[in-house]
């Protein structure tokens, strides 16, 4: 059997009895009078950064000009190479000289030069001594905007303890 459902009672609202109360003009004006100065005070403090200065009392590290000059390679160590190739040579030399050959276990070493957009893989790194000077011979690829090329090179540790690119040529 079906149960009967009782009808819902009708509710009527008389519009004359419902009233909406808006705040008086006096309340709105006094609220604005309190809030406006707070908002406008930010405009008056806009010159606060004019007195800001750099704090030069704290030095976190420094490099003497003499040691910085020693670690910098010549601007273009191989005549005839472009500035982009010379910059890549420095990046490749840094990767070859800093590689831990025992840890890499003969695996390729990736390099990238953000200054030129070039990148590549260094492979076949071998270490040898020439006249009691430690050197590393390597092969690397170079992918850049002008194409892909293969290079062979030698980087050696000089008497001052700085790695120098002794040979770097296109294959």
Please check whether residue 141 lies inside any domain of the structure.
Answer: yes
Please check whether residue 134 lies inside any domain of the structure.
Answer: yes
Q: Is the pLDDT of residue 159 over 60?
A: yes
Per residue in 104-149, pLDDT (tens digit) is 888 899 999 999 999 999 998 999 998 889 999 999 999 998 899 9
Query: How many domains is the chain partitioned into structurally?
Result: 1
Per residue in 34-55, pLDDT (tens digit) is 877 777 766 665 666 666 676 6
All residues at 6 or more sequence positions from 167 whose CB lies less than 8 Å from its CB, including other chains? 152, 153, 154
Mean pLDDT rounded to a whole number for the chain: 78
In the prediction, which pLDDT does 9 show?
75
Please check whether residue 47 lies inside any domain of the structure.
Answer: no
Regarding predicted confidence, which is higher, 17 or 89? 89
Question: What confidence tier does 32 reach under pLDDT thresholds 50, 70, 90?
Answer: confident
In the prediction, which pLDDT does 128 show?
93
Please check whether residue 142 lies inside any domain of the structure.
Answer: yes
Please check whether residue 27 lies inside any domain of the structure.
Answer: no
Rg of the chain (C-alpha set):
38
Please check whether residue 122 lies inside any domain of the structure.
Answer: yes
Task: Taking the CA atoms of 124, 126, 130 and 135 in sequence, report the sign of the dihedral they define.
Answer: positive
Regarding predicted confidence, which is higher, 124 or 56? 124
- Asked if 113 contacts 87 with a C-beta cutoff of 8 angstroms, the reply is yes
Please check whether residue 14 lies inside any domain of the structure.
Answer: no
Tell me the residue range of the domain where 88 lies.
83-170
Please check whether residue 161 lies inside any domain of the structure.
Answer: yes
Q: Would residue 150 be called left, alpha or beta, if left means φ above 0 and alpha means ψ between -120 and 50 degrees?
A: beta
């Amino acid at each position: 059997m079906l149960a009967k459902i009782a009808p819902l009672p009708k509710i009527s609202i008389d519009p004359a009895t419902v009233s909406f109360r808006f705040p008086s003009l006096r309340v709105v004006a006094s609220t604005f009078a309190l809030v406006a100065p707070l908002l406008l005070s930010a405009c008056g403090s806009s010159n606060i950064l004019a007195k800001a200065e750099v704090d030069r009392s704290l030095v976190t590290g420094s490099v003497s000009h003499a040691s910085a000059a020693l670690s910098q390679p010549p601007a273009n160590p191989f005549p005839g190479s472009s500035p982009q190739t010379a910059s890549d040579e420095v990046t490749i030399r840094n990767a070859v000289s800093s590689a831990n050959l025992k840890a890499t276990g003969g695996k390729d070493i990736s390099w990238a030069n953000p200054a030129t957009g070039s990148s590549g893989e260094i492979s076949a790194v071998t270490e040898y001594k020439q006249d009691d000077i430690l050197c590393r011979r390597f092969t690397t690829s170079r992918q850049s905007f002008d194409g892909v090329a293969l290079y062979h090179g030698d980087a050696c540790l000089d008497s001052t303890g700085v790695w120098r690119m002794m040979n770097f040529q296109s294959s």
